[in-house]
Amino acid sequence: MGILVLLGAFALCVVIGTPVAFALGISAIAAFWYEGLPLMIGFQRIVSGINVFALMAIPFFIFAGELMFHGGIAMRLVRFASAAVGAVRGGLGIVNVFSSMLFGGISGSAIADISALGSILVPVMKEKGYDADYAVNVTVTSSIAGIIIPPSHNMIIFAIAAGGGISISKLFLAGVVPGILMCLCLALAAYLVAVKRGYQAEPFPGWTALALAFFGAIPGLLTAVIIVGGVLSGVFTVTESGAFGAIYAFVVTLLVYRSITWDKFRLAVAQAVKTTAMVMILIACAGAFAYMLTFYRVPNKTVDLLTGLTENPILILLMINLVLLVLGMIMDMAALILICTPIFLPVANSLGIDPLQFGMILLVNLGLGLCTPPVGSCLFVGCAVGKLPMEKAVRTIWPFYIAIFIALMLITFVPAISLTLPQLIGG
């Protein structure tokens, strides 16, 4: 009965429109009260949920991403991507994908990717004769590269939700190849759709222009190199690398590009504070919720349920993917990472799946959920940027869904995609 109180209270809160963070906290406290446990323990679990040193990296990563968003780094990355791959048939679609790969790997945020790159590329694509739905669909689906390609604050959330026993530096390494693979699949989909619709290629600007665009993008690209390289080399902890990355992003936008103004800086600070507060409240309340899930032995029962249905690991993985895809359509990503990790990670462990690989499976599934209705935040933002009704975008987005799904299946059933780099470099 207690598990029904926990899940029922959570479902009720979500249905009546309560923010997910507060729904998690309220349902956890309701379960504590039903079981007769001291409510003080519940509030202690809420506080201890964010009493983790590694979480200090999240505000730094978010602030660095906001500085780069408002500081003009995205425009220089777009110029470099355009000069490099713009001459291919339907090249602006491929430019969009690879710009997302570059910027997403720096900002670590899908929403920042859409806001920064979408506001630049979608109007340009429309002017060049690309349909609005194509421009929006490419922008929306490629934005989730920022979730997988390091540095990504979602990986930190996953590591915390997994109990803190997973190396964040190895998680960063595990995300490189899956992120590139997904972008390659999306680039192929963008090319095929462009060919079918008859979009033309842009003229090659010349090697000189390509070299100039590359050198102009180097200071921005070095942000990710410094953050990830500092962690992997042992020079920085994850938190220290986030702080240094934020300082470096500020110096680049202020002194190198000279594109950050006082108003833009204040806006970056305000957005970073707002986003950090939302994430931290969510993590805090999820700590108490996860405690009650463990109290009711939900992870163990989930393992027993799935292995009772079938002992075929392929079918179990497909079921996990299906559940994550469905949940990703109706709930926020950060909340799902915190809820689903303690439930499904033990199942993955029972199948012999490395936690690093499971992390990539989880993030890609939930990233796809950001692009799907009814609660796809990336889809909403992309349609707003492109001034396109959501139903028109959804009607033609399926080739890009297929591309992400193919990448997801490869990541799920080919462990080497996620594990080779951590094993070679991470030791």
Size (the chain), residues: 427
From first CA to last CA, the distance across the chain in angstroms is 46
**Residue owning tokens 């665009």:** 213
Task: Give the span between the Cα atoms of 178 and 190, in whole angstroms.
Answer: 18
State how far Cα 115 lies from the chain centre. Answer: 14
CB atoms < 10 A from the CB of 203, how many? 9
- Check: pTM over 0.95? Answer yes or no: no
Distance CA 405, CA 393 (A): 18
Contact 186, 90 (CB under 8 A): no
Query: Structure tokens of 67?
Result: 């500085």
Q: What is the pLDDT along the chain (427 residues), one digit of tens a residue?
A: 778 888 888 888 878 888 878 888 898 888 888 888 888 888 888 887 777 777 788 888 888 878 877 777 777 877 888 787 777 777 778 888 888 887 776 666 777 777 777 777 788 788 778 888 998 899 889 888 888 888 788 888 898 888 777 888 889 889 999 999 999 999 999 999 988 888 877 777 778 888 888 888 888 778 777 777 777 777 778 788 888 888 888 888 888 888 888 888 898 888 888 888 888 888 888 888 888 888 887 777 777 777 777 778 888 888 888 888 888 877 778 788 888 888 899 888 888 889 999 999 999 998 888 888 766 778 877 888 788 888 888 889 899 999 999 999 999 999 999 999 888 875 5
What are the Cα distances from residue 46, in Å, to 280, 333, 337, 402? 10, 19, 17, 39
CA distances from 275 to 68, 69, 211, 246, 330 (A): 15, 14, 36, 15, 20
3-class SS string, the chain: CHHHHHHHHHHHHHHCCCCHHHHHHHHHHHHHHHHCCCHHHHHHHHHHCCCCHHHHHHHHHHHHHHHHHHCCHHHHHHHHHHHHHCCCCCHHHHHHHHHHHHHHHHHCCHHHHHHHHHHHHHHHHHHCCCCHHHHHHHHHHHCCHHHHCCCCHHHHHHHHHCCCCCCHHHHHHHHHHHHHHHHHHHHHHHHHHHHHHCCCCCCCCCHHHHHHHHHHHHHHHHHHHHHHHHHHHCCCCHHHHHHHHHHHHHHHHHHHCCCCCHHHHHHHHHHHHHHHHHHHHHHHHHHHHHHHHHHCCHHHHHHHHHHHHCCCHHHHHHHHHHHHHHHHHHCCHHHHHHHHHHHHHHHHHHCCCCHHHHHHHHHHHHHHHCCCCCCCHHHHHHHHHHCCCHHHHHHHCHHHHHHHHHHHHHHHHCCHHHHHHHHHCCC
Burial label for 108, CB within 10 Å (0-12, 13-18, 19+), is buried
